[in-house]
Amino acid sequence: MKITTIGLGYIGFPTSVLFAMHGHQVVGVDVNRRVVETLSQGRVHLEEPGLEALYREARAMGNFQVSQTPSASDAFIIAVPTPNKDDAYKSCDLSYVEAAITSVLPCLKNGDLLIIESTIAPRTMEDVVRPMIQSAGFTVGVDVYLAHCPERVLPGNIAYELVHNPRIIGGVTPDCTEKAKALYATVMQGVLISATASEAELSKLMENTFRDVNIALANELAKIGGDLKIDALKVIEMANHHPRVNLHAPGPGVGGHCLAVDPYFVAAAAPDFSPLIQTARAINTSMPDYVVALTEKLMHGAPTKKIAVFGLTYKGNIDDTRESPAMEIVALLEAKGFEVAKYDPHVAGGVSTMDEACAGSSLILVLTDHAEFVDIAKEATAKMALPQLLDTKNSVKTTAANVMRMDFGNVHLYTQTVEI
């Protein structure tokens, strides 16, 4: 089968490679010229373990081409971004999805399958996508088959999880569901779950909302512990010994294009019935300010204004900085007059080495749980003006003995007498 994928980002590109590896003729389309040129040269533009080797193999098989424009195919998969709008509830911006659909309409023919993998607001397939297809003269479920099939993968393990994770197949009609299931069955080993399009939309959103709400509880607990002078991390550890309790870990905020975005789509669709979701979002978006406030206290009276920030991505061991709280924290610190030296071995451009970041600094601020930060070399901390470290991810295991190590469990011991 010939498949055209629109959008070659963190989901669209691995998905394209997966189908190409299983014998489909894939054309990957992206409007970004740099992405197309990079892939045309046989290189990949994303950091994801094993992906480059799979892409080389797909190219060697002759099953993968790249282009900036779509062409006639049997199936079209749309995997473009859906950012938040700048409105009261940060609702779903469908402009990229609508543009992608518009670009493939001239290529559609009877019998084709159109799949939206992009995360979308509830009822988008019924209220937005279906009318667009019908306005082009097609009857959905008869002429063209339409489905929402959201991904659920973990960056760093995408190649495996695309194959083995369960996949919701949300057809606009039952025939649409079966048509989409038949395509995914050619590449997937996980369970294919039949659903309506609207059920699939809301299910994907609630998966990420569940995690966001639970992280918010942990972040609120970290603040409570600091206020009451109780070790919140130890509280979490002890509570999780209960056989039916699994408190999440607190952190500097929530990032990425899922947890920091998707809950807003639910809240915007039903604002009067989503107070818990909205409160959780407010708690998690407050964490960068909370980290900055702690940092200001730790830097009060420090010999230098330099802070070594370790980690810019929203999670460990990837290169993705989308919606990263670390980036927001850096901007807030710089706005307050601090000199911020950034160290992230996974992010190219504009970052220091570990030694350069630490030299003359009065604080290491760990914002991402990269594997490289588990052990921090004493040679680097020896160059600090004041050897103190705030680990917002509780991921550092060893460093020099003279370094004052703090986390969300004990930082209150070092900041309680400081007034800013």
Taking residue 353's Cβ as centre, other Cβ atoms within 10 Å add up to 12
Helical spans, DSSP H, in 275-324: 275-299
Q: Is the dihedral of CA 217, 218, 223, 229 positive or negative?
A: positive
- Return the structure tokens found at 124: 């988008």
92 catalytically annotated = no
Distance CA 382, CA 372 (A): 18
DSSP SS3 for 15: helix
- Determine phi and psi for 191, rounding to 5 degrees: -70, 135
DSSP SS3 for 25: strand
315 catalytically annotated = no
Question: Is residue 79 a contact partner of residue 6, using CB atoms and an 8 Å limit?
Answer: yes
Taking residue 231's Cβ as centre, other Cβ atoms within 10 Å add up to 17
- Return the structure tokens found at 378: 């004493």
Task: Please pick, among 90, 204, 297, 315, the residue that the annotation labels catalytic.
Answer: 204
Tokens 């389309």 appear where?
29
Distance CA 118, CA 413 (A): 45
Q: Which of 319, 336, 309, 318 shows the shortest CA–CA distance to 252? A: 309
| Residue 374: half-sphere exposure toward Cβ, Cα within 13 Å | 5
Distance CA 348, CA 22 (A): 32
- Return the structure tokens found at 406: 């703090």
Task: Please pick, among 258, 306, 315, 358, the residue that the annotation labels catalytic.
Answer: 258
Active site residues: 204, 258
